[in-house]
């Protein structure tokens, strides 16, 4: 018997909307202003297994959702496209399969390089979501890149980097 597709999976596949009526393709078209100032999209692009106190309408990644991500190349590609969007926002880019700072990276425009802020929470969420959704290598690449870039170019606290380091290490046994 086939189970009904969750609203999260429908959203990720471009067949459904978030709680504000937006398709994933609309969020992928956000510019840097909206990526910084809209606080309700990140939970839809990078779902995790816990409810957020910042968006009561955000989906929680279920065991069935995780299984769907593990089994679907299309879902994994959608999450990779979402990561590409956020990499650009963070002043990062892909080069030969690795994540590096872009030529435009600077602490003034890329405020995640400063101490504190909601972007540090977003980074933790992205790392955890990628790992929970079976994209362990991608999660690790992103984690290592943001830690390295933060140390070299930023003023990010050791506490924030510690959260980034732990974001994918306390997953339950279903992720292996």
Tens of pLDDT, residues 63-88: 999 999 999 999 999 999 999 999 99
Return the number of other C-beta atoms located less than 10 Å from residue 169's C-beta: 10
The total domain count for the chain is 1
How many angstroms separate the first and last alpha carbons of the chain? 25
Task: Please give the Cα distance from 38 to 30 (Å, whole number).
Answer: 10
Chain center to CA of 104:
21
Query: If residue 167 lies in a helix (H) or strand (E), which one and from where to where?
Result: none
pLDDT at 134: 95
Q: What pTM was computed for the model?
A: 0.92
pLDDT at 85: 97
What is the chain's Cα-based Rg? 16
Contact 123/83 with Cβ under 8 angstroms? no
- Kindly state whether residue 107 falls inside one of the protein's structural domains: yes
- Kindly state whether residue 175 falls inside one of the protein's structural domains: no
pLDDT at 176: 29
Domain containing residue 51: 7-169
- Kindly state whether residue 91 falls inside one of the protein's structural domains: yes
pLDDT at 57: 82
Task: Please give the Cα distance from 67 to 65 (Å, whole number).
Answer: 5
Confidence check: pLDDT of 173 > 70? no
Here the tokens at position 28 are 């992928």
- Kindly state whether residue 136 falls inside one of the protein's structural domains: yes
pLDDT at 172: 54
pLDDT at 11: 97
Task: Please give the Cα distance from 122 to 13 (Å, whole number).
Answer: 22
- Kindly state whether residue 17 falls inside one of the protein's structural domains: yes
Tens of pLDDT, residues 35-44: 999 989 999 9
Confidence check: pLDDT of 25 > 50? yes
pLDDT at 1: 41
- Kindly state whether residue 1 falls inside one of the protein's structural domains: no
The DSSP-derived string for 1-63 is: -PPPPPHHHHHHTTSS--TTS--HHHHHT--HHHHHH--SSHHHHS--SS--SS-TT-----H
- Maximum Cα–Cα distance across the chain: 53
Return the number of other C-beta atoms located less than 10 Å from residue 28's C-beta: 15
Contact 130/46 with Cβ under 8 angstroms? yes
- Kindly state whether residue 125 falls inside one of the protein's structural domains: yes
Average pLDDT over residues 105-129: 94
pLDDT at 59: 92
- Kindly state whether residue 118 falls inside one of the protein's structural domains: yes
Confidence check: pLDDT of 2 > 60? no
């Amino acid at each position: 018997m086939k189970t009904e597709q969750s609203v999260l999976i429908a959203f990720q596949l471009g067949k459904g909307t978030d709680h504000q009526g937006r398709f994933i393709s609309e969020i992928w078209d956000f510019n840097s202003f909206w990526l910084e100032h809209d606080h309700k999209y990140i939970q839809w692009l990078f779902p995790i297994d816990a409810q957020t106190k910042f968006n009561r309408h955000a989906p929680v990644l279920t065991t069935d959702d995780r299984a769907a991500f593990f089994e679907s190349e299309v879902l994994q590609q959608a999450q990779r496209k979402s990561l590409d969007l956020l990499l650009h926002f963070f002043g990062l880019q892909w080069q030969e399969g690795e994540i590096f700072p872009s030529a435009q990276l600077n602490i003034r425009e890329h405020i995640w390089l400063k101490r504190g802020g909601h972007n540090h929470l977003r980074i933790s969420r992205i790392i955890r979501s990628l790992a929970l959704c079976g994209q362990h290598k991608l999660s690790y690449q992103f984690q290592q890149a943001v830690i390295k870039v933060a140390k070299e170019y930023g003023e990010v606290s050791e506490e924030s980097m510690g959260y980034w380091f732990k974001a994918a290490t306390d997953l339950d046994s279903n992720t292996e």
